[in-house]
Structure 1
Amino acid sequence: MEDVAAIGASIRRARKEVGITQGTLADLIGTSSRTVHAIETGTGNPSLVTVAAAANAVGLHLKATDA
Structure 2
Amino acid sequence: MTHAPYTWLSGGRQVIDLALPATAWNVPAGHRLALALDTKDPLYLDANPSGAAIAVSASSWVDIPLR
TM range (shorter): under 0.3
TM-score normalised according to structure 2 size: 0.23
Task: Say which structure is richer in helix.
Answer: 1
Q: Which has the larger radius of gyration?
A: 2
Tell me which of the two structures has the higher relative contact order, counting C-alpha pairs closer than 8 angstroms and 6 or more residues apart. Answer: 1
TM-score normalised according to structure 1 size: 0.23
